[in-house]
Structure formats: structure tokens, C-alpha cells
């Protein structure tokens, strides 16, 4: 491999000749060999940086045109465009487990933009610190990149996926409005319910999760950019924070604004904790829904067997013909991962000292992993399971007919204690509720038939 010499404030460093990054990136790559390809800085963070550097260059070009000339700003924008197009991923080698401020990844972006920009210009015009990082610090850019990435991931990936699942459940509701089945509480028989009503609970749970995430978005729009090193805005011109946020909002189509208090914006990560809590809430409901589906589909002969779900692949290497609820299992495992990520995010957000949180890369990594996994798991579950849910009408009718909890309809007629006697006698003697009520002399057959009508109990 061929190398070239790059230098930073600490001296010279050998860098692979075919890479656009410089000395500070190489130092980080040499000193933090932690994790695998999967633990590299998320691409969502890098693309967020590209959007932010473009916005900063535009703001600087207006506010201090002598330092950020039109030529420099244009070159920065061109390279940011290449990053957003995914052309330069090989030039971002750094891992999550580095400095807690994300300084090395900020410099990685600065160096790539400067060196690639100079290549495009055909001259050495851009400096990573003096130009690409103008009016900025890692301490305000990394928090800003985190929130840009979080907003884009939530609004453009997770919320659409969740809405498609909610729409799927709404269709299933409409298709199953005439299907009666037995309800269950405590895993025991309860009173009747329409299958559409059960599905409506799933839909409303997903829609509630969507609403909670939407409620968590506004705090994420307030960004730290402009606070520079400790929140005072040192070395940033007046109006930079507002102008850069406006440029970012115009570029992304998201309503980003400058944070009212930069000291909070640099040191606190409560907005991300809150937003991930909403993601966790959705994951919790999805785990419950997936468990409902796989229990209702259990069998095919020795389980509940009240619904049919798509059969996607063989379920056993030894038991021929076995098919398992694998989409449910995948979704529940992702939910468990989200719960673990939430614990990591909460702990990391509680750390740091004085004017800066120094656990930011691991917060970003876990947050974005949760959103990515949950978005993909929801899509997979919807496409490969939920869309194909069908009721087993015969089994539902059989279970409804045999349920002892239909006796609840007799409470107003013969009282709770007498109704309990009917249920216990029917269970003990394996007879119907009707037979038990008649045997106990509590009701005639005709009176029982008038009182116990499942379709009137929903």
C-alpha cells in the first residue's frame, strides 16, 4: 500500500494514499481498534454531518464572505453532495467507540471534505479546521448531527413503516367485522369479542406509538450548532446559529431551529432519551401484538388455532411439515434489542461532566440501531405475516360455543353466585352451560336461549 504524509498539530502521520481523510482520522483509526464493521460510525451520522457542513458553509458565506469565499463554499457543497450520494463511504473508517465527544468523526468529515474539495478545485484552498469547521466545534456539531439523524430516521423510516402496519390492521378490521370469538384475560377464557375489535386494539396501539413519536419530535428540532466549544458561541459570528439552522431546515425540509440554550444543548441528551422512550413504547406494544398473533395461530391442532398466518418457510430440521411464526419471533427479538438500547441510551445520557456529554457516539449508535431495526422488522412483519392473517372461523365458533364465560350474560338474570354455580357445574361435569342451568333449576331452556346470545355481548 502506498502512503502519503499528512500533518496535524501533533506532527506528521502516514495516511493511505488513496484515502481523502487526514492525520487526525488516521490517529483515531490507529488508536481505537474496537469492534467490527458493524460498530463503525453510523452512515446516518455521516450524512447528517454532510448536510450540516453544507448549511454551515452557506451561513458562513453570507456572514463572513472573506473567510468563506464563494469558491470554498461551492467546493464544500459539492463534496457534501458526494457524501449524500454514498460515493465516499470508504473514506470514513472510524468506529463508535472513540472519543465521547465524536471529535474524531467530526474531523474525519472535515478532512474528507477538505481533501476531496481541493482535488475538485485543482488547488489547495480548503483547510479542514479553518474552512470546513469554520464557526463550529465538535462539541456542537456532533450533537447536531445526532438530532438531524434521529429526526430523519424517525420521520422518513419508522413512522411510515408504522403507519403502513396500522393501515393493514384497519383493513383487517373491516374484513372481520362479522367474526365473533372468545376474548381472553389472564390467558383464561373471558366474554365474547368481535375479531375486528381485537384487531382494533392492535391498530390503536400502533397509532398511539406513532402519536408518541410525533410528540417527541419537536424537541429534536432545536439544534446545538452555533454553541461551539462550551455553549458560548466563541469564534462564531453573530447570527450564525440562526442562519445555519435555517439553511439546514431548507435543505432537509424539517423545521430545525437554533436551540434557545446552547449550554443545555451541548451537555444534555434528554431530547434523545425522550424520543427513544417513545420508540421503546412502540416496540413494547409491537411485542405484545406479535405474541398475540403467534398464540392465536398456535397449533395447528394442539394450540389455539384461531387464525391462519402465512407459511413462509419450513420450521424444523427434524419435524416434517412444521411451520413456525417466525415473523413474530423476529419482531419480538428486535423489541428486546430496543429495550436494551434504551437502557444504554439512558445511562449514557446521564453521564458527562460540566459543559459536555462525552457518551454521544454510543447514544447515536444505539438510537439509530433501534430505529433501523424496528423500521425493518415492522415492514417484514407486515409484508410477510400481518397482511395474510385470516380467521379460522370454525375454530373461533367452536371455542365461543364451548366457553364457560358466556355465563356472564346470566348475571342480570339469576345473579353472580348462581351464574358461578352454573359455570362450575358445567365444567365439572363437562356439559354445556344450558344443560347446567336447567339441571340446577335456575332457568328453562327457552329463558337461557333468550339471555345467552353471544352476538349481543360484544
Given 7, 31, 270, 316, the catalytic residue: 316
Given 186, 222, 276, 298, the catalytic residue: 186
* Annotation marks residue 316 as catalytic: yes
HEC profile for the chain?
A: CCEEEEEECCEEEEEECCCCCCHHHHHHHHHCCCCCHHHECCHHHHHHHHHHHHHHHHHHHHHCCCCCCHHHHHHHHHHHHHHHCCCCHHHCCCECCCCCCCHHHHHHHHHHHHHHHHHHHCCCCCCHHHHHCCCCCHHHHHHHHHHHHHHHHHHHHHHHHHHHHHHHHHHHHHHCCCCEEEEEECCEEEEEEEHHHHHHHHHHHHHHHHHHHHHHHHHHCEECCCCCCCCCCCCCCCCHHHHHHHHHHHHHCCCCEECCCHHHHHHCCHHHHHHHHHHHHHHHHHHHHHHHHHHHCCCCCCCCCCEECCCCCCCCCCCCCCCCCHHHHHHHHHHHHHHHHHHHHHHHHCCCECCECCCHHHHHHHHHHHHHHHHHHHHHHHHHCHHHCEECHHHHHHHHHHCHHHHHHHHHHHCHHHHHHHHHHHHHHCCCHHHHHHHCCCCCHHHHHHHCCHHHCC
* Annotation marks residue 28 as catalytic: no
Residues involved in catalysis: 186, 316
Amino acid at each position: 500500500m502506498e502512503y502519503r504524509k499528512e500533518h496535524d498539530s501533533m506532527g506528521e502521520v502516514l495516511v493511505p494514499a488513496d484515502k481523502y481523510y487526514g492525520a487526525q482520522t488516521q490517529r483515531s483509526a490507529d488508536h481505537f481498534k474496537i469492534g467490527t464493521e458493524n460498530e463503525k460510525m453510523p452512515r446516518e451520522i455521516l450524512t447528517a454531518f454532510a448536510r450540516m457542513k453544507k448549511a454551515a458553509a452557506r451561513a458562513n458565506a453570507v456572514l463572513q464572505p472573506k473567510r468563506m469565499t464563494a469558491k470554498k463554499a461551492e467546493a464544500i457543497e459539492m463534496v457534501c453532495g458526494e457524501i449524500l450520494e454514498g460515493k465516499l463511504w470508504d473514506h470514513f473508517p472510524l468506529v463508535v467507540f472513540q472519543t465521547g465527544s465524536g471529535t474524531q468523526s467530526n474531523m474525519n468529515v472535515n478532512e474528507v471534505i477538505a481533501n476531496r474539495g481541493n482535488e475538485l478545485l485543482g488547488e489547495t484552498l480548503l483547510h479542514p479546521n479553518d474552512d470546513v469547521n469554520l464557526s463550529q466545534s465538535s462539541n456542537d456539531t456532533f450533537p447536531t448531527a445526532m438530532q438531524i439523524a434521529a429526526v430523519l430516521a424517525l420521520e422518513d423510516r419508522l413512522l411510515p413503516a408504522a403507519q403502513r402496519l396500522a393501515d393493514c390492521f384497519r383493513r383487517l378490521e373491516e374484513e372481520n367485522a362479522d367474526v365473533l370469538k372468545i376474548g381472553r384475560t389472564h390467558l383464561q377464557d373471558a366474554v365474547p369479542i368481535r375479531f375486528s375489535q381485537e384487531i382494533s386494539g392492535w391498530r390503536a396501539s400502533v397509532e398511539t406509538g406513532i402519536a408518541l413519536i410525533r410528540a417527541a419530535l419537536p424537541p429534536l428540532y432545536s439544534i446545538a450548532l452555533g454553541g461551539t466549544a462550551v455553549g458560548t458561541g466563541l469564534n462564531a459570528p453573530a447570527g450564525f446559529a440562526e442562519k445555519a439552522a435555517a439553511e439546514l431546515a431548507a435543505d432537509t425540509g424539517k423545521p430545525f431551529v437554533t436551540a434557545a440554550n446552547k449550554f443545555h444543548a451541548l451537555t444534555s441528551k434528554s431530547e434523545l432519551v425522550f424520543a427513544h422512550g417513545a420508540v421503546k413504547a412502540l416496540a413494547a406494544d409491537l411485542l405484545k401484538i406479535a405474541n398475540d398473533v403467534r398464540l392465536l395461530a398456535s397449533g395447528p391442532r394442539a394450540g389455539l388455532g384461531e387464525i391462519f398466518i402465512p407459511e413462509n418457510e419450513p420450521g424444523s430440521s427434524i419435524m416434517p411439515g412444521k411451520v413456525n411464526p417466525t415473523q413474530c419471533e423476529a419482531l419480538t427479538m428486535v423489541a428486546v434489542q430496543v429495550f436494551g438500547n434504551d437502557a444504554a441510551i439512558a445511562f449514557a445520557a446521564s453521564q458527562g461532566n460540566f459543559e459536555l456529554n462525552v457518551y454521544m457516539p454510543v447514544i447515536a449508535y444505539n438510537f439509530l440501531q433501534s430505529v433501523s431495526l424496528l423500521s425493518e422488522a415492522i415492514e417484514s412483519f407486515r409484508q410477510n405475516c400481518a397482511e395474510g392473517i385470516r380467521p379460522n372461523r370454525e375454530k373461533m365458533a367452536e371455542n365461543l360455543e364451548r366457553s364457560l364465560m358466556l355465563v356472564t350474560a346470566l348475571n342480570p338474570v339469576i345473579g353472580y353466585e348462581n351464574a358461578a354455580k352454573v359455570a362450575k357445574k358445567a365444567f365439572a361435569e363437562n356439559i354445556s352451560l344450558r344443560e347446567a342451568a336447567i339441571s340446577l333449576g335456575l332457568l328453562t331452556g327457552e329463558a337461557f336461549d333468550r339471555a345467552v346470545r353471544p352476538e349481543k355481548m360484544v
